[in-house]
Amino acid sequence: MAKEQYNASSITVLEGLEPVRKRPGMYIGGVDTKGLNHLVYEIMDNSVDEHLAGYCSDIWITLEDDGSCTVRDNGRGIPVEMHDKGVSAERVVMTTLHAGGKFDNKAYKTSGGLHGVGSSVVNALSNRFVIEISRGGKVYRDSYAKGQPTTRLIKGLLPEVGTSRQTGTMINFVPDDTIFEKTRFKADAIKSRIHETAYLNPQLTIHYENKRKGEEEKADYHEPDGIDAYIRELNTGKTVISPIIHYSGKSDDVEVEAAFQYVDAFEENILGFCNNIFTQEGGTHITGFKTRFTQMINTYARDLGILKDKDVPFTGPDTRNGMTAVVVIKHKEPIFEGQTKTKLASADATKAVVAVTGEELTRYFDRNVEVVKAVIGCAEKSAKIRKAEEKARTNMLTKSRFTFDSNGKLANCESRNPEECEVFIVEGDSAGGTAKTARKRRFQAILPIRGKILNVEKATIDKVLANAEIKTMINTFGCGFSEGYGNDFDITKLRYNKIILMTDADVDGSHIDTLLLTFLYRFMPELITDGHVYIAQPPLYKAIPAKGESEYLYDDKALEKYRAGHKGSFQLQRYKGLGEMDADQLWETTLDPEHRRLKLVEIEDARMANEITEMLMGSDVGPRRDFIYEHAGEAEIDT
Ligand code: 0RA
């Protein structure tokens, strides 16, 4: 391979990708592990686009032992021919932002907002980026470092490195460790995303392999039953009370496909996708589905005489209680908005989903009246409970508004700027007391809670809302809550940018974390999805050497390392609980933003969120605790 060579075209190249290196967050959402994983998704999405165009049946994704990732497909291969700009088209694609549109006439691009902005972004953010294209009987190779070409072109074209009877594209890349906080891809999240992609593309097979030492694993993802299989998986372990209902159609230029099923549960779980992108924040397609569905159930309920003239109609949430649904649309030019650009804004999506749902679902319900009756049965049950709970709710809200702050438990901070404010939920009055002394009063608030909070999953809503600890939390955060039947949640009213759970580093402590997270996940899920919830990491030990400075050790690995690296004797102090630290120690180790460790609690995608719910809501405590710790962003050190 030629050494680095710069010519006129590589200068434009540099300028082309500079914005990405300057502001990586704008292109991949962030430089944390989530952003890192995005690199894989960007490359994978391009191969999926090639599948959608009808040319690629298989994608191979490998986490290599050297820390790189390889994505290979059997599509047509990225064009290598001479481009107007005087270099191979591949060069132009890999070094220009948003290139691709010019070469492809693909029906649906996954790109939109944060997504699929393309391989050039990954190239810009990789220490090494190698691409091999099999096309027209030959294999071509190109390579880059931090977005700059490291392969010498021959008369502007890529060197040939072999012959092949197949076609396809292979990309291998190593993320840039000067850009990303960590460069270890999260295998679980990637597998999850691959599986999701397989559900949404029933003709596609994705071969996953992890070759990293100690984690070796291989799995093929192929889901010929598509979103029906997705629903089946989402509902695993639940009692189903309807068949899976599936319909699809096209309206104007928008393709719509949906599947749903009722289970014996008290939530709705509706996942939306647009062009293979999970729309975490919902949007116009979901609105269309809900609106038309509510109308329809009310119409059938009247027609069947279940709702009488004097009866008020079912509310939307009534009709969807216990529903698991996947709503998928394909749109030529989707518009995304919202905090994370995962909310579909295209108005014609509503129209299309309304039209297709109206037409296709009516056809289905007319032929399957017993299914409509089952759905209406669920709605009736829900309406009844809703009315009872509305009462409990009103009582709770009117009472609690006036008790806020008067119980004196919350030690609030002085600042009223949520951006800088943090609230620590501290286990126990004694640790709470120390924390109140230790904190920086200006921006840190302390809310002590006593013992184990109520397990919200095992209690009815009126019990939940009567619970003192829960009431205090709702009032403290200031943003209300959402639950099954009503939604008073308003994230703009959140008083603290960070909600930090601070419990003992023992079994009881993590049990309390679990209960708190269950509560937050069920009543204020946006706090988690928007990245406001953290788990404080108090140290486990303090090593006090005979000579030199003491050191806090946060886990057993750190202790091992200390033992290995430390010559001479030292005394080891083990912290059993927060209560054992004095105010100075607590500040230094756990409160001080400069030195503390926080774990960000995160949920990356729909499947992950669902798995987490399962774990959180299940009654088996062990796996829940493990799961939370596994999925709390790996010791993201917060500065
Ligand atoms: C544009 C045109 C053509 C293929 C592709 C893009 C393509 C891009 C990627 C990215 C990853 N894998 C890919 N596979 C294909 C084909 C144009 C033609 O052959 O006429």
Q: What is the pLDDT of residues 298-341, one digit of tens each?
A: 999 999 999 998 999 999 999 999 999 999 999 999 999 987 77
Q: Which atom of ligand 1 is nearest to the CA of 73?
A: 12
Percent of the chain with pLDDT over 90: 59
Residue 83 CA to ligand 1 centre (angstroms): 14
Asked whether the predicted pLDDT for residue 636 surpasses 70, the reply is no
| Tokens 């999260």, located at residue | 186
Query: What amino acid positions are annotated as catalytic residues?
Result: 427, 504, 506, 508
Residue-wise pLDDT for 18-34, tens only, equals 899 999 988 888 899 99
Percent of the chain with pLDDT over 70: 85
Residue type, 40: V
Asked whether the predicted pLDDT for residue 127 surpasses 60, the reply is yes
Q: Which atom of ligand 1 is nearest to the CA of 171?
A: 11
Distance separating alpha carbons of residues 172 and 574, to the nearest angstrom: 45
DSSP 97: T
Of the two residues 475 and 425, the one the predictor is more confident about is: 425
Q: Give the residue, out of 49, 98, 166, with the most ligand 1 atoms within 8 A of its beta carbon, to mutate for a pocket test.
A: 49
pLDDT at 519: 86
Asked whether the predicted pLDDT for residue 377 surpasses 90, the reply is yes
pLDDT at 626: 62
Residue-wise pLDDT for 163-176, tens only, equals 999 999 999 999 99
Q: Which residues contact 1 (CB under 8 A, 6 or more apart)?
A: 143, 150, 151, 152
Asked whether the predicted pLDDT for residue 475 surpasses 60, the reply is yes
Helix residue ranges, H only, 407-506: 429-438, 461-466, 468-477
Long-range CB contacts for residues 152-157, cutoff 8 Å, separation at least 24: 152/1, 152/2, 152/5, 153/87, 153/88, 153/91, 156/9, 156/82, 156/86, 156/87, 156/88, 157/80, 157/82, 157/87, 157/88
DSSP helix/strand/coil, 141: strand
Distance separating alpha carbons of residues 452 and 454, to the nearest angstrom: 6
Give the chain's mean pLDDT. Answer: 86
Asked whether the predicted pLDDT for residue 358 surpasses 80, the reply is yes
Phi, psi for residue 150 in degrees, rounded to 5: -120, 5
Distance separating alpha carbons of residues 126 and 302, to the nearest angstrom: 60
Q: What is the pTM of this model?
A: 0.72
Q: Considering the domain 19-221, what is its CATH architecture?
A: 2-Layer Sandwich (3.30)
The angle formed by the CA atoms of residues 143, 145 and 149, to the nearest 5 degrees, is 50
Residue 478 CA to ligand 1 centre (angstroms): 50
pLDDT band at 390 (very low <50, low <70, confident <90, very high): confident
Closest CA to ligand 1's atom 1: 104
Q: CA torsion angle for 410, 414, 415, 419 (degrees, to 10)?
A: -30
Of the two residues 300 and 503, the one the predictor is more confident about is: 300
pLDDT at 112: 36
Q: Which atom of ligand 1 is nearest to the CA of 75?
A: 14
- Find the residues whose C-beta lies inside 6 A of ligand 1: 46-47, 50, 73, 75-79, 103-104, 169
Asked whether the predicted pLDDT for residue 616 surpasses 80, the reply is no
pLDDT band at 120 (very low <50, low <70, confident <90, very high): very high
Fold equal for 228-393 and 399-538+599-606: no
Residue 105 CA to ligand 1 centre (angstroms): 10
pLDDT band at 486 (very low <50, low <70, confident <90, very high): low
Q: What is the mean pLDDT of residues 455-464?
A: 74
Closest CA to ligand 1's atom 7: 78
Distance separating alpha carbons of residues 190 and 34, to the nearest angstrom: 10
Residue 613, both tokens:
């719910």
Q: What is the mean pLDDT of residues 272-287?
A: 94
CATH no. for 228-393: 3.30.230.10
pLDDT band at 614 (very low <50, low <70, confident <90, very high): low
Give me the DSSP letters along 8-41: HHHHHHHHHHHHHHH-HHHHHS-SSHHHHHHHHH
Residue-wise pLDDT for 520-571, tens only, equals 888 888 898 888 999 998 898 999 998 888 899 988 889 999 998 888 889 9
Residue-wise pLDDT for 45-97, tens only, equals 999 999 999 999 999 999 999 999 999 999 999 999 999 889 999 999 999 88
Q: What is the mean pLDDT of residues 450-464?
A: 74
Give me the DSSP letters along 253-316: TEEEEEEEEEBSSS--EEEEEETTEE-TT-BHHHHHHHHHHHHHHHHHHHHTTSS-TTSPPPPH
Phi, psi for residue 498 in degrees, rounded to 5: -120, 130
Residue 258 pairs with which residues in a beta bridge?
247, 327
Q: Which atom of ligand 1 is nearest to the CA of 169?
A: 12
pLDDT at 509: 81
DSSP helix/strand/coil, 96: coil
Of the two residues 72 and 450, the one the predictor is more confident about is: 72
Distance separating alpha carbons of residues 11 and 26, to the nearest angstrom: 23
Residue-wise pLDDT for 589-601, tens only, equals 999 999 899 988 8
Enumerate the domain spans of the chain. 19-221, 228-393, 399-538+599-606
Closest CA to ligand 1's atom 5: 78
Residue 129 pairs with which residues in a beta bridge?
144, 173
pLDDT band at 101 (very low <50, low <70, confident <90, very high): very low
Q: Give the residue, out of 72, 78, 171, with the most ligand 1 atoms within 8 A of its beta carbon, to mutate for a pocket test.
A: 78
pLDDT at 605: 60
pLDDT band at 115 (very low <50, low <70, confident <90, very high): very low
pLDDT band at 155 (very low <50, low <70, confident <90, very high): very high
Instruction: Say what angle helices 187-200 and 606-617 make with each other, to 10 degrees.
Output: 110
pLDDT at 338: 81
Residue 184 CA to ligand 1 centre (angstroms): 28
Q: Considering the domain 399-538+599-606, what is its CATH architecture?
A: 3-Layer(aba) Sandwich (3.40)
Asked whether the predicted pLDDT for residue 452 surpasses 90, the reply is no
Distance separating alpha carbons of residues 395 and 465, to the nearest angstrom: 9
Please say whether the beta carbons of 219 and 191 come within 8 A: yes
